[in-house]
Amino acid sequence: MTHTMFAAVAETAQAPLVIRHLSRPVPGQGQVLIKVHAAGINPLDTKIATGGGAHARQPLPAVLGIDLAGTVVELGKGVDDFAPGDEVFGMAGGIGGAQGALAEYIAVDARLIALKPRSLSMREAAALPLVFITAWEGLVDRANVRADQQVLIHGGAGGVGQMAVQIAKARGADVYATGSATSLDFIRELGAIAIDYRAQDVESYVRLHTAGEGFDIVYDTVGGSTLDASFNAVKTYTGHVLSCLGWGQHSLAPLSFRGASYSGVFTLMPLLTGKGREHHGQILREAATLVEAGQLRIKVDRHRFGLADVNEAFDLVAKGRGEGKTVVEIVGS
């Protein structure tokens, strides 16, 4: 095996990524070395590349890329859950000073990955981790979504939103999801009742779908004014609002007057602090179970990008023009 590799490097903010020849990483204690087949590109990756995303604590220059799918090629000391040749996926780098997935090889904490679902391609598997973990941490870990609840997902056609719709459906909830007019058909395909947020205000769809009582769970995946709308859409006393983008200044009065609760979701925490990494691996195993049961799928953008095309992929994501999750294929680039 060669001791060097190609990688896409963000050298300075606001500049195109460049392909560099770097030393291949060596897996340390508790790590595995993965030959990367595909890297999922998230909006956060593009923000880091422009000098933003300070919460990700990824100083430049850096190899970016949070999500990956690939093959285990070498084990570090203390790893016995995986073997060379295993196909795996995970949200395992690209923040907190760690090397990201836009490289031929990456050494990652074995607790952060799981075996790839056999029925998914490497492209599809690389698209899943961040969005699925974010959806699961909100709906399951915080809100314990369950059968017969009415669940509202804001941004149901987005990355986290489409995962949240499918998780809630799989757990027996009645699911509703907001979106723009062009996304409503896709939301319906996922099994949710679609709500055009531009055509109906909060009061109207709460009255229509819950007889004015409010939803048991409201998951905001959009942020800003959508989180404020969520506080007005949740059920009195027992309602639970979740947000993975609750970073602004918001009035809690509407929520407080309902006696409802709120939980923030910050999926990067285990990568930044080292705490709770085993749980990310567990969540990914739940994803694999749902995939194999036919209860979970991911929409991947039709454009095919190799490592040499990484800037085109970043541009597509940054401008929000992708029709599904954008993925860069590393093997064969």
Cβ atoms of residues 274 and 295 within 8 Å: no
Evaluate if residue 333 carries a pLDDT over 50.
Answer: no
Q: Are residues 160 and 201 in the same domain?
A: yes
Range of the domain at 30: 4-128+270-329
CATH number at residue 235: 3.40.50.720
Mean pLDDT over 229-257 rounds to 96
Mean pLDDT over 144-167 rounds to 97
Q: Are residues 164 and 98 in the same domain?
A: no
Q: Are residues 91 and 189 in the same domain?
A: no
Q: What percent of the chain has pLDDT over 70?
A: 99
Mean pLDDT over 68-72 rounds to 98
Average pLDDT, the chain: 96
pLDDT tens string 176-233: 999 999 999 999 999 999 999 999 999 999 999 999 999 999 999 999 999 999 999 9
Using left for φ > 0, alpha for ψ between -120 and 50, and beta otherwise, residue 51 falls in left
Helices (H), the chain: 43-49, 122-127, 129-136, 159-170, 184-189, 202-210, 225-231, 253-258, 269-273, 277-292, 310-318
Evaluate if residue 125 carries a pLDDT over 60.
Answer: yes
CATH number at residue 110: 3.90.180.10
122 Cβ neighbours under 8 A, 6+ residues apart: 37, 38, 69, 70, 87, 116, 329, 331
Greater confidence, 3 or 131? 131
Q: Are residues 249 and 137 in the same domain?
A: yes
Q: Are residues 165 and 256 in the same domain?
A: yes
pLDDT in the model for residue 321: 86
Q: Are residues 286 and 194 in the same domain?
A: no
Q: Rounded to an integer, what distance in angstroms lies between the CA atom of residue 195 and that of residue 184?
A: 7
Mean pLDDT over 287-316 rounds to 96
Say how many domains are in the chain.
2
Confidence of residue 1 (pLDDT cuts 50, 70, 90): low
The answer to whether the pTM exceeds 0.85 is: yes
